[in-house]
Amino acid sequence: MKRKHITRVAALALAGLMTSMALVGCGGSSSSSSPKADKTKDGNASKGKVYYLNFKPEADGAWQNLAKKYTEETGIEVNVETAAEGTYEETLTAAMDKSEAPTLFQVNGPVGLANWKDYCYDLKDSDIYSQLTSKDYALSEGDAVYGISYVIESYGIIYNKTILQKYFDSDFSTVKKIEDVNSFDALKTVADEIQANAAALGVKGAFTSAGMDSTSDWRFKTHLANLPIYFEYKEDGISSTDAIKGTYLDNYKKIFDLYVADSTCAGTDLANKNMTDAETEFSKGEAVFFQNGSWEYTPLTTAGLTDADLGMLPIYVGAGDEANQGLCTGSENFWCVNKNANKDDIAATLNFLNWCVTSEAGTTALAEDMGFVIPFKNAKEATNVFVKADAEYTANGKTPVSWNFTTMPSETWKNGVGTALTQYAAGTGSWDDVVTAFVDGWKTEYAAANAE
Amino acid sequence: MFRKPKRKLYSLIFVLPTFAAFIIGFIYPFISGVYLSFCKFKTTSDAKFVGLDNYVKAFHDEGFLRSFWFTALFVVVSVILINLIAFFVAYALTLGIRGSNIFRTVFFMPNLIGGIILGYIWQLIFNGILQNYGTNLALDARFGFWGLIILMCWQQAGYMMIIYIAGFQSVPADLYEAARIDGADKKQVLTNVTIPMMMPSITICSFLTLTNSFKLFDQNLALTGGAPGVVSDSGSMIYQTQMMALNIYNTFYANQNSRGVGQSKAVIFFVIVVVIALAQLYLTRKKEVQQ
């Protein structure tokens, strides 16, 4: 009886296996006859393979699925590898030395491109370039197009709508509606009043802890530092520089001081506060403001906040035309195709990229599984409230602050500014050190990185 | 007549796999590493020879010089402390007290934990204490220095202890007996019998602690990451608790021109470690006695 049962199960399993094999066989044969195998001028895409070195660990699973789907559809092998958080440059350096190097990789902007330009295929005639909604989203030099942005992100000051409403409704508030929080002075008034009445509002502080641990310090040494750079570039009419003047560093100080003063913890504790601390404080409703970006939507909603709780304000620093300032919107993720790969692989990679941003499966995966806003014509509408907020600001005629931190001379520079900021926040360092690290450090690092 | 050469030939064949592995795994990377220190490169396959340029830059790097002195100070303190602690713990555990096997295991255990994890655990402990005084590991280099020393003692003393225990147990009992008959007191036995007989263990332990402390990387990265820093006139940050290995690592990934500089620092580092380790081996070997 028992034996018979086992035989039956085995037979069933075998039958299942054979059916699935037959199906796979079917899929394979149909794809080889499909018109996908178009010959581009240089290589035969159907003979090539794609090897993608992915930067975003949080999107690894989604990329693996998308790659599998593409292989099922076209029979072309797509191998996705993901570098561990914060080790992309190291992983890419090692991978580029292999005989089978990645055919598709990414750089984070002009400075990253300077590192890898010799490896970048010129994308100006590619299909994916023509799919871009604006040519501004490409990384080009002269006529050549070396990188194509695949995700547009925004950052600003995320606020908890529910608690902020409580503040607006209370009798100690001088600012009564969100539309009036439209300048640094207004923001400071709101933050100071929340801080002074923290107990009444049931919060620990106005801002979440400005953690200077390495998981969180990029919010200040990179993203916040973008603002003084942006305003200086704008004033001088330039898009990058070998020596920053630091015209707007006082504004940088003003906003950073506000983060430290109206915070959930003391300045001396910031050195080892991390991202999780800030996220937890915000999602538990212990703080009202949290400087971060659209990528934070998933963690915050997973932690229990709803769309109705979340909004994003521009980072006001008291410079420029504040009434018309929008969120900081841009990209630091640019796809590059490896020039040194063989022609078939390059052709296959270009086809794969085009498929990702034009096909139903590709755009759905990018928008829904990865939560990306992609700058391509066939993009799906995003569900992310911060992205919607950005669209709203733009529709209301506000000018987005562009991402100029991609022109920062090097990681060493960012780390130097970060260390100086940490010590300044704790009171063991002076603001002058931050200025020296910012201005003189820029010049030194730029020269070191660009010397022949 | 034929036997001898044939045997030699065989032995050569048997040595070949290991020899090949040695070439691939050690000789080749070493030589190409030294070569790369004279090159400007992004990936190792596109190196461009630039002569001594990298070495000049390395010697002019304030942060590198600072890391050398910090490392040197750390090595001196940690070698002395680790060996003293390990020696006396081993001494105590060979006196025959009850449960000494359990103690040995307990003291040895920290060795089995990886450096990065240890670094983070101790960071939590130290910061938890320092928080009460309104400060932090990342804010004062003295805390970072002593934190590293405590961490290394805690981790390494157990391992050295095992070697010292073996040393204690290898001292022949008749020597002690003879010393006692001659009327030597405890202190005399220790300095005139035990320590001279233990010189091989002391050699190996001081060699291991010296090289381990010199090459320390993961604990340094996880515990302080080099912080705090002092801004130099040129605007570069000079990290106060950065050891040489961490400085080299950071240099290597600093920008597209810095790989060769990092590589040349690594070669300088190698030479320093070899010279110091050989000098130490020579000095302690001289003190070893034949049984």
Minimal Cα–Cα distance from A57 to chain B, Å? 20
Three-state SS string over chain A comes to CHHHHHHHHHHHHHHHHHHHHHHHHHHHHHHHCCCCCCECCCCEHHHCCEEEEECCHHHHHHHHHHHHHHHHHHCCCEEEEECCCCCHHHHHHHHHCCCCCCCEEEECCHHHHHHHHHHECCCCCCHHHHHECCHHHEEEECCEEEEEECCCEEEEEEEEHHHHHHHHHCCCCCCCCHHHCCCHHHHHHHHHHHHHCHHHHCCCEEECCCCCCCCCCHHHHHHHCHHHHHHHHHHHCCCCCCCCCCCCHHHHHHHHHHHHHCECCCHHHHHHCCHHHHHHHHHCCCEEEEEEEHHHHHHHHHCCCCHHHEEEECCCCCCCCHHHEEEEEECCCEEEEECCCCHHHHHHHHHHHHHHHHCHHHHHHHHHHCCCCCCECCCCCCCCHHHHHHHHHHHCCCEEECCCHHHCCCHHHHHHHHHHHHHHHHCCCCHHHHHHHHHHHHHHHHHHHHCC
| Cα–Cα nearest to A386, from A309, A319, A325 | A309
pLDDT at A41 over 60: no
**Top-confidence residue, A176 or A28:** A176
Two structure tokens written together for A404: 């100029």
Mean pLDDT of chain B, nearest integer = 91
Mean pLDDT of chain A, nearest integer = 88
Contact residues on chain B for A445, CB-CB shorter than 8 A: 235-236, 255
A45 with A344: CB under 8 angstroms? yes
Minimal Cα–Cα distance from B188 to chain A, Å? 51
pLDDT in the model for residue A11: 52
B63 touching A, CB under 8 A? no
pLDDT in the model for residue B284: 85
pLDDT at A31 over 50: no
- CATH class of this structure's domain A38-152+331-377: alpha beta
pLDDT in the model for residue B257: 84
Longest Cα separation, chain A:
87
Q: What share of chain B is helix, strand, coil (3-state, %, to 5)?
A: 75, 5, 20
| Cα–Cα nearest to A297, from A388, A392, A386, A369 | A386
CATH architecture of A155-328+409-450: 3-Layer(aba) Sandwich (3.40)
A108 with A336: CB under 8 angstroms? no
pLDDT in the model for residue B256: 78
Minimal Cα–Cα distance from B215 to chain A, Å? 21
B255 with A445: CB under 8 angstroms? yes
Average pLDDT over residues B2-7: 60
| DSSP sequence for B20-47 | HHHIIIIIHHHHHHHHHTTEE-SSGGG-
Minimal Cα–Cα distance from B218 to chain A, Å? 15
pLDDT in the model for residue B290: 63
pLDDT in the model for residue A381: 81
**B54-287 classified as CATH 3.40.640.10:** no
| Cα–Cα nearest to A105, from A51, A173, A151, A58 | A51
Three-state SS string over A138-178 comes to EEEECCEEEEEECCCEEEEEEEEHHHHHHHHHCCCCCCCCH
Cβ neighbours of residue A39 closer than 8 Å, sequence gap 6 or more: A45, A347
pLDDT at A20 over 50: no
Minimal Cα–Cα distance from A123 to chain B, Å? 22
Residue type, A187: L
Residue type, A86: G
Average pLDDT over residues B65-90: 96
- Quote the CA–CA distance of B22 and A22 in Å, as a whole number: 49
Contact residues on chain B for A89, CB-CB shorter than 8 A: 253
Average pLDDT over residues A330-334: 91
Average pLDDT over residues B277-283: 90
pLDDT at A27 over 50: no
CB-nearest to A419 from B45, B137, B227 is B227
Inter-chain contact A97–B45, Cβ cutoff 8 Å? yes
Average pLDDT over residues A130-137: 88
- Going by pLDDT thresholds of 50, 70 and 90, the confidence category of residue A24 is very low
Burial A7-45 (b: 16+ CB within 10 A, else e): eeeeeeeeeeeeeeeeeeeeeeeebeeeebbeebeebeb
CA distance to A87, A107, A271, B244, per residue, from B114 (Å): 19, 32, 24, 20
pLDDT at A387 over 50: yes
What is the CB-side half-sphere exposure of residue A409 using CA atoms within 13 A?
29
CB-nearest to B235 from A96, A426, A437 is A437
pLDDT in the model for residue A13: 52
SS3 B64: helix
Least confident of A15-29, A275-289, B133-147, B260-274: A15-29
Inter-chain contact A436–B235, Cβ cutoff 8 Å? yes
Question: Are β-strands A153-160 and A287-293 bridged in parallel, bridged antiparallel, or unpaired?
Answer: antiparallel
The percentage of chain B sitting over the pLDDT mark of 90, rounded to a whole number, equals 71
pLDDT at A432 over 60: yes
CB-nearest to A272 from B138, B231, B253 is B138
A100 with A77: CB under 8 angstroms? no
- Quote the CA–CA distance of B203 and B198 in Å, as a whole number: 9
pLDDT at A2 over 60: no
- Going by pLDDT thresholds of 50, 70 and 90, the confidence category of residue A304 is very high
- Quote the CA–CA distance of A239 and A232 in Å, as a whole number: 10
Q: Which of residues 238-267 of B touch A (CB under 8 A)?
A: 239, 250, 253-258
B236 touching A, CB under 8 A? yes
Inter-chain contact A114–B256, Cβ cutoff 8 Å? yes
A221, A270, A413, A415: which to substitute to probe chain B, counting the most B Cβ within 10 Å? A415
Q: If you measure CA to CA, which chain A residue comes closest to B227?
A: A419
* Tens digits of residue pLDDT in B225-246: 998 999 999 999 999 999 999 9
* Tens digits of residue pLDDT in B87-135: 999 999 998 888 888 999 999 999 998 889 999 999 999 999 998 998 8
pLDDT in the model for residue A67: 95
CB-nearest to B43 from A96, A410, A444 is A96
- Going by pLDDT thresholds of 50, 70 and 90, the confidence category of residue A5 is low
pLDDT in the model for residue A112: 86
- Going by pLDDT thresholds of 50, 70 and 90, the confidence category of residue A36 is very low
Inter-chain contact B235–A441, Cβ cutoff 8 Å? yes
Cβ neighbours of residue A448 closer than 8 Å, sequence gap 6 or more: A409, A410, B254, B255, B257, B258
So where are chain B's domains?
3-52, 54-287
Residues of A at the B interface, defined by Cβ within 8 angstroms: 89-90, 93, 96-97, 114-116, 118, 212, 214, 266, 268-269, 271-272, 409-412, 415-416, 419-420, 422-423, 426, 428-429, 433, 436-445, 448-451
- Quote the CA–CA distance of A203 and B43 in Å, as a whole number: 51
CA distance to B38, B52, B257, B267, per residue, from B35 (Å): 6, 11, 16, 10
Phi then psi for residue B155, to 5 deg, are: -80, -40
Inter-chain contact B227–A271, Cβ cutoff 8 Å? yes
- Quote the CA–CA distance of A271 and B181 in Å, as a whole number: 63
SS3 B225: coil
- Going by pLDDT thresholds of 50, 70 and 90, the confidence category of residue A1 is very low
- Quote the CA–CA distance of A449 and A409 in Å, as a whole number: 7
Inter-chain contact A97–B43, Cβ cutoff 8 Å? yes
- Cβ-Cβ pairs closer than 8 A, A with B, add up to 110
Length of chain A: 452
* Tens digits of residue pLDDT in A228-246: 999 999 999 998 999 999 9
So where are chain A's domains?
38-152+331-377, 155-328+409-450
pLDDT in the model for residue A30: 36
Inter-chain contact A428–B139, Cβ cutoff 8 Å? yes
pLDDT in the model for residue A29: 36
pLDDT at B41 over 60: yes
User: For residue B48, what is the enclosing H or E element?
Assistant: strand B48-49
Phi then psi for residue A382, to 5 deg, are: -85, 155
Instruction: Tell me: cis bond preceding A299? Omega within 30 of 0 counts.
Output: no
- Quote the CA–CA distance of A315 and A177 in Å, as a whole number: 17
- Quote the CA–CA distance of B21 and A395 in Å, as a whole number: 65
C-alpha torsion angle, residues A101, A102, A106, A107 (rounded to 10): 0
CB-nearest to B131 from A90, A269, A423 is A269
Average pLDDT over residues B21-31: 94
- Quote the CA–CA distance of B187 and B183 in Å, as a whole number: 12
B48 with B41: CB under 8 angstroms? yes
pLDDT in the model for residue A23: 42
